[in-house]
Amino acid sequence: MSVISRIRPEVEAAKRALREGREALRAQHASGSPGFQVCGRMTDLFDSVVTGLFTLVASETASAGLDSRVALVAHGGLGRRDVAPYSDADLMLLHAPDAGALVVPLARRFSQYVYDSGLPLGFSVRTPSQAHQLSWRDATILTSLTESRFLAGNERLFTRYFETLRRGARRRARQLLPMIEEARRAERAQFGETVYLLCPNIKRSRGGLRDLQLIRWIGFVARGEHDFLALERLGALPPEERRRLAKAHEFLLRLRNELHFHHDKALDVLDRHEQVRLAPLYGFRGRDGVLPVEEFMRLYFEHTSETRYASSNFAAGARGRSAVAGFFGRLFSRAVDGDYLIGPVHIRATRRGLKKLRGNLREVMRLMDLANLTDKRIDHPTWQAIRRDMADRDDVALSPEAVLRFLSILSQPARLGDLLRRLHQLRVLEIFVPPLRHARGLLQFNDYHKYTIDEHCIRSVDRAAEFAHDPGPVGDAYRQIRGKRTLHFALLVHDLGKGHPGDHSEVGKELAAETARLLHMPAAEVEMIAFLVEKHLRLSHVAFRHDLTNESVIVSFAGEIGSLEALRMLYVLTCADVAAVGPGVLTRWKLDLINELYERTREHLSSDYQMPTAKQRVAEMRESLIAKVGESPRREWWIQQIGGLPAGYLIAASLPRILDELGKLVELPSREAMAWGRYLAERQAVEYTVGTHEQIVPGIFHRLTGVLTSTGHSILSAEIHTLADNLVLDRFYAQDLDFAGEPPPERIAEVANRLVASLRNPSDAMPVFRSVWKRETPTAGGLRAMPERVSFDNATSDRHTIITVFAYDRMGLLYAISRAIFEAGLSVHVAKIATYLDQVVDVFYVTDRQGRKIADDAILADIRDRILGALEASRVA
More confident residue, 442 or 876: 442
Burial, 623: exposed, middle or buried (Cβ in 10 Å; 0-12, 13-18, 19+)?
exposed
CA–CA separation, 799 and 845 (whole Å): 9
Contact (Cβ atoms closer than 8 angstroms) between residue 165 and residue 132:
yes
pLDDT at 331: 56
What 3-state DSSP class applies to 805?
Answer: strand
Residues 176-188: pLDDT tens digits? 999 999 998 888 7
Contact (Cβ atoms closer than 8 angstroms) between residue 622 and residue 645:
yes
Contact (Cβ atoms closer than 8 angstroms) between residue 730 and residue 649:
no
The structure's pTM equals 0.75
Above 90 in pLDDT, residue 854?
yes
Contact (Cβ atoms closer than 8 angstroms) between residue 871 and residue 817:
yes
Ramachandran region, residue 782 (left: φ > 0; alpha: ψ -120 to 50; beta: rest): left
Q: Where are the beta strands (DSSP E) in 127-184?
A: 149-153
Residues 332-368: pLDDT tens digits? 678 888 899 998 888 999 999 999 999 899 999 999 9
CA–CA separation, 475 and 811 (whole Å): 36
Residues 802-823: pLDDT tens digits? 998 988 777 778 888 999 999 9
CA distances, 373 to each of 366, 400, 416, 488, 715 (Å): 10, 20, 10, 16, 46
Contact (Cβ atoms closer than 8 angstroms) between residue 452 and residue 537:
no
pLDDT at 338: 86
Taking the CB of residue 693, how many other CB atoms lie within 10 A of it? 20
Contact (Cβ atoms closer than 8 angstroms) between residue 810 and residue 875:
yes
Residues 754-767: pLDDT tens digits? 999 999 998 877 77
DSSP 8-class letter at 201: B
List all residues 6 or more positions away from 860 whose beta carbon is below 8 Å from its beta carbon.
792, 801, 854
CA atoms within 13 A on the CB side of 674: 12
List all residues 6 or more positions away from 274 whose beta carbon is below 8 Å from its beta carbon.
259
Above 80 in pLDDT, residue 782?
no
Percent helix, percent strand, percent coil in the chain, to nearest 5: 60, 15, 30
Q: What is the torsion angle, in degrees rounded to the nearest 10, for the CA atoms of residue 731, residue 737, residue 738 and residue 743?
A: 40
List all residues 6 or more positions away from 284 whose beta carbon is below 8 Å from its beta carbon.
292, 293, 295, 296
Give 436's pLDDT tier (boundaries 50, 70, 90).
very high
Taking the CB of residue 608, how many other CB atoms lie within 10 A of it? 4
The listed range with the strongest mean pLDDT (187-191, 550-554, 731-735) is: 731-735
Indicate the residue type of 817.
I
CA–CA separation, 131 and 59 (whole Å): 26
Give 775's pLDDT tier (boundaries 50, 70, 90).
very low
pLDDT at 813: 83
Contact (Cβ atoms closer than 8 angstroms) between residue 444 and residue 198:
yes
Residues 516-536: pLDDT tens digits? 999 999 999 999 999 999 999
Above 70 in pLDDT, residue 4?
no
In the predicted model, what is the mean pLDDT of residues 655-664? 90
Lowest pLDDT segment from 44-48, 142-146, 161-165, 605-609: 605-609
| Residue closest to 29 by CA, chosen among 253, 274, 269, 340 | 253
In the predicted model, what is the mean pLDDT of residues 142-149? 97
pLDDT at 194: 60
More confident residue, 686 or 381: 686
Above 70 in pLDDT, residue 565?
yes
What's the chain's Rg over C-alpha atoms? 33
Provide, rounded to the nearest whole percent, the portion of the chain with pLDDT above 90.
57
Give 3's pLDDT tier (boundaries 50, 70, 90).
very low
Indicate the residue type of 121.
L
DSSP 8-class letter at 287: B
In the predicted model, what is the mean pLDDT of residues 249-267? 97
CA–CA separation, 723 and 700 (whole Å): 15
Give 653's pLDDT tier (boundaries 50, 70, 90).
confident
Indicate the residue type of 126.
R
Residues 461-474: pLDDT tens digits? 999 999 999 999 99
Residues 119-129: pLDDT tens digits? 999 999 999 99
pLDDT at 583: 79
Above 50 in pLDDT, residue 778?
no
Residues 307-330: pLDDT tens digits? 998 898 898 888 765 544 454 555
pLDDT at 446: 56
Indicate the residue type of 216.
R
End-to-end Cα spacing for the chain: 51
In the predicted model, what is the mean pLDDT of residues 410-438? 93
Above 80 in pLDDT, residue 786?
no
Give 779's pLDDT tier (boundaries 50, 70, 90).
very low
CA atoms within 13 A on the CB side of 120: 10
Indicate the residue type of 702.
H
| Residue closest to 818 by CA, chosen among 809, 807, 827 | 827
Residues 209-236: pLDDT tens digits? 999 999 999 999 999 999 999 999 998 8
CA distances, 662 to each of 83, 381, 679, 758 (Å): 70, 70, 20, 22
159 forms beta bridges with none
